[in-house]
Chains A and B, each alone.
Chain A
Amino acid sequence: MTHFRIPRASNRKRIKQLNITSLIDIFTILLVFLLKNYSVEGDIVSISPDLNLPAAAVEKKPNRDFMVTVSKAHISAEHVHVVDLNDVDQAGLSIPELKQEMVNHRQKIEKFQETNSSIAFTGKVLIQADEEIPFRTIKQVMFTCGESGYQDISLVLRKRE
């Protein structure tokens, strides 16, 4: 049979006077740290989980534009799978599947532009690529962007602290 001990008056008094000074210390340090690292702007660009972006010490922040992602396995446009890297023709510079996707996106915007003057095709594209991707593939993606009319390319990188 289990016995429950009724705490004595002195024990009850001790529990009432719980010392939370150290807890407040931890909270204060945590709060200062979080407030220091808090970014008001948030993160406009969502990084694919399978990517390991290279780091750079530049300061310029990205804008929300058309996104081309080059992971170790495939190329995607606006987070939609376009082509596997194994299927990319290594002989030429252009990637037809990516070009088709980008031209379609450009035509859509140009169609909207006819009815709504506030929407304009800017030719800006963001490229996020894994740090182990060879220069050859990056060059092919850049060439395809140029071919599709996207002349202003921004390479998305992780900020080096």
Chain B
Amino acid sequence: MKKARFVITEKFSHSPAEVDVTPVMNLFCILIPFLLLTAVFAQTVVIDITLPKEGVGQPAQLQQESLPDMLKFVMINISENKIQIATNKRIYPPIPIKDWENDVGLSKFERHLQDIVAEYPKQKDVVLISPDKTTYATLIRLMDICIATGLGNISLSGPQRGESVSQSPPNKP
């Protein structure tokens, strides 16, 4: 039987195996500038608002007939120094604005809304009553928490004049 012979040449024995990385570098040099130029770091999203068809007036949520597993209304009342959630069954303790600035107030507010949703899972409507001075950022923050907890049908209202606009549910086609 003939034995196989393996001959190690001097060339293979001394020089380490080198991978030619030039094509990879070429690819990187094209891809990275392209991706950097076309990158979008700040993405935009939207919250839909639908104005009431019959013109501004009474909040629709207050006029609806009460169902057994739904509340007549859920109101978030923002004033100069506190934010308070109230329903037709219960008034929650107010959250001071100074707590609202940190996560303590934020988590309290979220917990109150989660309690409402846990007790009344079909409840989607919430009225946000805000004074004129409230900043847009605060309103969006509150609306964002409401949507995240499942109260997606938000109405904005002013305390004095009673003008209102409604936010359509997020899953609306």
Contacts and interface: CB of A to CB of B under 8 A. Distances in A.
B170 A58 contact: yes
A60 interface: yes
Which secondary structure dominates where chain A touches chain B? mixed
Interface residues of B, number: 46
A132 B44 contact: no
Contacts of B91: none
Contacts of A37: 39, 41
A60 B132 contact: no
B99 interface: no
Given A58-B170, A156-B44, A142 B165 contact: yes
Interface string B12-49: 00000000010011001001100110111111111111
B62 interface: no
Contact of B136 (A42, A43, A134, A143): A134
B39 A54 contact: no
10 contacts: A24-B28, A34-B32, A54-B137, A56-B140, A60-B170, A62-B44, A62-B46, A139-B132, A154-B48, A157-B47
Interface of A: 20, 23-24, 27-28, 30-31, 34-35, 37-39, 42-45, 47, 53-62, 93, 126, 129-136, 138-139, 142-143, 145-146, 151-160
Interface of B: 21, 24-25, 28, 31-32, 35-36, 38-51, 53, 55-56, 130-137, 139-141, 143-144, 147-148, 156, 158, 161, 163, 165, 170
Given A139-B156, A139-B165, 14 more contacts: A24-B24, A30-B32, A37-B39, A38-B38, A56-B45, A56-B47, A57-B144, A60-B48, A132-B136, A134-B134, A138-B136, A143-B163, A155-B47, A157-B47
